[in-house]
A = this chain, B = another copy of it.
Amino acid sequence: MANAMLLPVLISFLILPFSALALTQDFCVADLACPDTPAGYPCKPGVGAGDFYYHGLATAGNTSNLIKAAVTPAFVGQFPGVNGLGISAARLDIAVGGVVPLHTHPAASELLFVTEGTILAGFISSSSNTVYTKTLYKGDIMVFPQGLLHYQYNGGGSSAVALVAFSGPNPGLQITDYALFANNLPSAVVETVTFLDDAQVKKLKSVLGGSG
């Protein structure tokens, strides 16, 4: 081929699709300043490589708290590049004796990958009320189906760390204790809908800062 001659026409050909396709959507980095929609945030203009990168999971979360654990999210709110891509992540740090309490993700399934230590994990099915539990070591993965109650706690003598991936950019996190005892849901209602004793409800309301 005589490249020198072909150069001008080829470039003219290739430049054409460039402009014609400028509105093509390969991705849609979230513009968090706009209102969300049911399918995710509107796309931000002027995207760069940094929008597809997140450093926030590189540092261990602070586990100096009651549950001796920390969940560091990389959901669309923290990592706008995942908007519309059907995926997000989080880092789990669980100190010795620590626990991520019973919770659900209303809007995504979860895949957990242990990078350090030992984690005991389980979920409960809604159809047969069966409990599925595993002891997970470094390199093991476990999947938790969308919307089902599950938990993780440290099962070893050293800190545990896991990377968690979700099947959506905004999985949500509903901790059962937090939903029941850390808000203004009246104790009488909690007792009615859970059969817990009044003293138990009031004790946890007090610990978790709830009122009513």
With A28-B36, A140-B55, A204-B195 already in contact, the answer to whether A128 and B172 are too (CB < 8 A) is no
CA gap between A167 and B168 in the complex, in Å: 7
Contact, CB under 8 Å: A207 / B179: no
Select which of B65, B83, B207 is within 8 A of A195 by beta carbon. Answer: B207
Select from chain B the residue with minimum beta-carbon distance to A43: B36
Contact, CB under 8 Å: B101 / A194: yes
Select from chain B the residue with minimum beta-carbon distance to A127: B24
Select which of B67, B172, B206 is within 8 A of A126 by beta carbon. Answer: B172
CB distance from A169 to the nearest CB of B (A): 9
Contact, CB under 8 Å: B26 / A134: no
Q: Assembly of this chain: how many copies?
A: 6
Contact, CB under 8 Å: A136 / B53: yes
Residues on B with C-beta less than 8 A from A111 are 82, 87-89, 165
CB distance from A170 to the nearest CB of B (A): 5
CA gap between A204 and B194 in the complex, in Å: 10
Residues on B with C-beta less than 8 A from A143 are 52, 79, 81-82, 85, 87
Interface residues of A in 184-198 (CB under 8 A from B): 184-185, 189, 192-197
